[in-house]
Amino acid sequence: MPDTSSIELKRTLSSRGFEIYRTTNDEVILADRVRDNLLMDSGIAAKIAPALAVRLVVRAEALQFPGERPDELFARARKLGDAAVGYREVRTRVVPIKDPGDASRTLDTWYEVWFELPVFDVDELELELRRVLKIERNASGSH
């Protein structure tokens, strides 16, 4: 499937029952339906370039774990990634969540770990996407 565009992959995944959040040149990002009228980024994407793969993003939100250091928060996120057997870690990212009414104010900080798994074809991609959609992607606090 090396010559497939993200638009073609989006159509294929939609026809197989996946909800799409966003499409870029290199990937199709799946959606989580929070409410009937609200779609959000699921943290799961079908990557096209450089090769067909599944991307999984897991995170720990600092507000859920007051007083924990960044390395502890990344460790919590990585623990979620243990369920993604065969995936390899490809990136970490610190994401400040800004107040939409006051960009100078940070509401929370997310500590993300990105994992990827190469797949052979669209059928394997579909199976893997369905599997990782069941994985918990947000570390739960003790509240």
Taking only the tens place, the pLDDT of each residue in 78-120 is 999 999 999 999 999 999 999 999 999 999 999 999 999 999 9
Question: Is 4 domain-assigned?
Answer: yes
Question: Do residues 126 and 101 share a domain?
Answer: no
Same structural domain for residues 73 and 106?
Answer: yes
Would you say residue 69 has pLDDT above 80? Answer: yes
68 and 98, same domain (yes or no): yes
Same domain (yes/no): 47, 24: yes
47 and 61 fall within a common domain: no
Its pTM stands at 0.89
pLDDT tens per residue across span 1-30 = 445 788 999 999 999 999 999 999 999 999
69, 37: one domain: no
Q: Is the residue at 15 inside a domain?
A: yes
Q: Determine, yes or no, domain membership for 39.
A: yes
Q: Is residue 143 part of a domain?
A: no
Query: Number of folded domains in the chain?
Result: 2
Calculate the dihedral angle through the C-alpha atoms of 70, 61, 32, 27, rounding to the nearest 10 degrees. Answer: -20
Task: Please name the residues in contact with 11: beta carbons below 8 A apart, sequence gap of 6 or more.
Answer: none
Q: Could you tell me if residue 141 is inside a domain?
A: no
Do 102 and 123 belong together in one domain?
A: no
Which residue segment(s) compose the domain that 129 sits in? Answer: 1-52+119-136
Q: What is the CA 11 to chain-centroid distance, rounded?
A: 20
Q: Is residue 142 domain-resident? A: no
Higher pLDDT, 73 or 1: 73
